[in-house]
Structure 1
C-alpha cells in the first residue's frame, strides 16, 4: 500500500521517456576478454569537432543513468555512451569474475573504437568512476596526451567494504561470510535468487528509494526507473562483481589525474559512496573542483539533474 500511494503522487517525470532517447550511431565493441559492449554515439552540432565526451555508468545500472545529461548536452558535444559488461544490452563475461582491471581495458577499447583521435572527456558515475581510475592506472600517458578532463560522480578510490551497494539489507549485513558462497553458487541457485528479487518488487522499490535517493519524496518515476535498471542486473552478474568492488583500492592511481582538470560531484547524503569518499579523492587531487549536491543521494545525477548538469556544463565550457 505504501508503494502504491507513493507512486500516485504528482510526478513531474511521469511521462519522461526513460531509456528511449535517440542516438546517431550504434555499434558493438568486443573487449579483450570476449564481452560484446553495446555502444551509442551522438554527434555534435555546435560543439568542438575534436572533443568527445564518454560516459561510464555504475554497478547495477546502465547507460540510462545519464538520461538527463544526454538530453541536456545533445547536439552540443559529441557523446559516447555504453553499457558495462553484464549490464544493460551488453554481453556477459563467459566465465570467471568481473574485474575493474578488465573494465578499464574495456573503456580503452571503447575509446579506440569511437574516438581514436582528438581530445576526450571521461565522465564516470560510481563504478564508472572506478573504471576511469583503473584506466588511469593502466595507461597514465593517455591522460597526458589525450584526456582533456575527468568528471567523477558519486564514486570512491577505495574502502568500499563498508558500504552496501544497494543490495538488500540482509545480504549487506552478512556479505563477508556469504561472498564465497554466492560467488560459487550454481545456476539453479542464482535463478532462484532472481525469481525472489522479481517477486519482491515493492521491497526492491522501497530499498531503491532509501539507498539511491536523498530527498524525502523523490519522483516515483525516477525511483522506478533506477529500480528497473537494478533488477535487470542478474544475481549471477552481481555475485561475479563483488570481489573486485570490495577490494578496489586506487588512491595512488589518482596521480595520473593530476595532469588534467577534474570535477568531483557527490550528494551530501549518499549512503553508498559517502561524501567522505569524494573528499578523499579531492585530498589526492588538490586542484580538483568539488560540487556537493544538497539532499543528493547516490543517483544525484538523476535526482538533481539540473544542478549536476550546470556543474558539468560549466566544466565542459572551460575545457572546450
Structure 2
C-alpha cells in the first residue's frame, strides 16, 4: 500500500492537495477532512488503523497544509463544503463513500449535505463526525457576549475586517513555538488529564503552520455558520458522533445535540476527560468508534 498524491483544482481556481492511501481496489472509500488551522496529517493515527479496511482519501482544505489560498470572500464553510464535493467528484467518481470530519472538517461535511443531499444514501453511505458542531459556537461566555454587543452596535463586520487587515503584519512578526502558544494549545485543545507535553508541542507545531491571514479569514464563518438544515440529510445513513467532555472549542453539548437531531441513525460516543484533539489523545477510543461505523455501513449494505 503506497500513498499517492494528486491535485484537484476547484471551480474557482484553487488547487487542493489530496492524498490516497490503503487498498486502491477496496470496495469502500473513506474521505477524511481535517480541522481548522490543521492539515491532513492530523489523521495519521486513524490512517494506520483504517488503511486495511478501505481506500483512504485525505485532503488539505483551502488555505491549509499544501493546498492553495483563496479570496477572503470564499473562506467559508459553504465553500469548503463545495470543495469536498469536488474532491469526491474528481478522486472518488464512483463507489460507496464514508465521510469523516474533525471540527471544521465535520462542518464541511454538513455543508456538502445541505448543498448536495442527493449524494447521501446513494454515494455517501456513512458519516463520522468528530468534535464538531452544526452552529452556535459563539453564543455563551465572554465571546458570546462580545459578539452580541458588536452585532448590536453594527461593528461585527468592521471588527472582522480589521482582523483580516492586521493579519499579514501580525504574521510577519509572529513567533512560533512559544510558551504562551503551548499554554493556549494545552488549554483549548487538550482535556483534563490527557496533555502529554510532547503531544502538546506536536499539536502546537501543526496548528502554527497555518498563517494568520488564513486563521483570520475563516474566523468569521466559524462564528456564524449554521448547518442545522443538513442534519435530516445525514439521518439517511449511519452516523457516529464523537464528543469530548473537556472540549473548549466544540463543547460536548454540541455533539449531544447533533446526535439527538440526527436521530436513530446516530451513535453518540462521549469521551470522558478528553479535549478537542481527541483523535490524537484517545486514538483507541476514536479508532474503535470508527471501525464500528464501518461495520454498521457494511451491515446496512448487506441488508439492502
Give unmatched runs, 5+ long, in structure 1. Answer: 1-21
How many residues of Structure 1 are paired with residues of Structure 2 in the alignment? 291
Q: Does 1:250 find its partner at 2:231? A: no
Supply the distance in 1 between the matched residues of 2:164 and 2:289 (Cα, whole angstroms).
Answer: 45
**Structure 1 equivalent of residue 301 of structure 2:** none
**Structure 2 equivalent of residue 306 of structure 1:** 284
Q: Once the 2 structures are TM-superposed, how far is the Cα of residue 100 of structure 1 from its aligned partner?
A: 1.1
TM-score, L = length of structure 2: 0.88
Aligned to 2:183, the other structure's residue is in SS state: helix
Give unmatched runs, 5+ long, in structure 2. Answer: 299-304
Residue pairs, 1:234-245, within 5 angstroms? 234-245=211-222
**Structure 2 equivalent of residue 58 of structure 1:** 35
Q: Residue 286 of structure 1: which of 246, 263, 270 is its match?
A: 263
Supply the distance in 1 between the matched residues of 2:164 and 2:195 (Cα, whole angstroms).
Answer: 37
**Structure 1 equivalent of residue 302 of structure 2:** none
Supply the distance in 1 between the matched residues of 2:87 and 2:176 (Cα, whole angstroms).
Answer: 36
- Spell out structure 1 runs of 4+ moving beyond 4 A: 171-179, 184-187
Aligned-residue CA RMSD (Å): 2.3
Residues 238 and 172 of structure 1, relative CA distance in 2, 3 Å threshold: farther
Q: Once the 2 structures are TM-superposed, how far is the Cα of residue 191 of structure 1 from its aligned partner?
A: 3.2
Q: Once the 2 structures are TM-superposed, how far is the Cα of residue 208 of structure 1 from its aligned partner?
A: 0.1
**Structure 2 equivalent of residue 43 of structure 1:** 22
Residue pairs, 1:67-86, within 5 angstroms? 67-86=44-63
Supply the distance in 2 between the matched residues of 1:207 and 1:180 (Cα, whole angstroms).
Answer: 26
Q: Once the 2 structures are TM-superposed, how far is the Cα of residue 235 of structure 1 from its aligned partner?
A: 1.4
Supply the distance in 2 between the matched residues of 1:249 and 1:264 (Cα, whole angstroms).
Answer: 17
Q: Once the 2 structures are TM-superposed, how far is the Cα of residue 281 of structure 1 from its aligned partner?
A: 0.7
Q: Once the 2 structures are TM-superposed, how far is the Cα of residue 97 of structure 1 from its aligned partner?
A: 4.2
Residue pairs, 1:67-146, within 5 angstroms? 67-146=44-123
Supply the distance in 2 between the matched residues of 1:210 and 1:281 (Cα, whole angstroms).
Answer: 24
Residues 276 and 49 of structure 1, relative CA distance in 2, 3 Å threshold: same
Q: Deviations over 1:236-293 (max 9, x none)?
A: 1111112211111111221101110000001111111001101111121121100011
TM-score, L = length of structure 1: 0.84
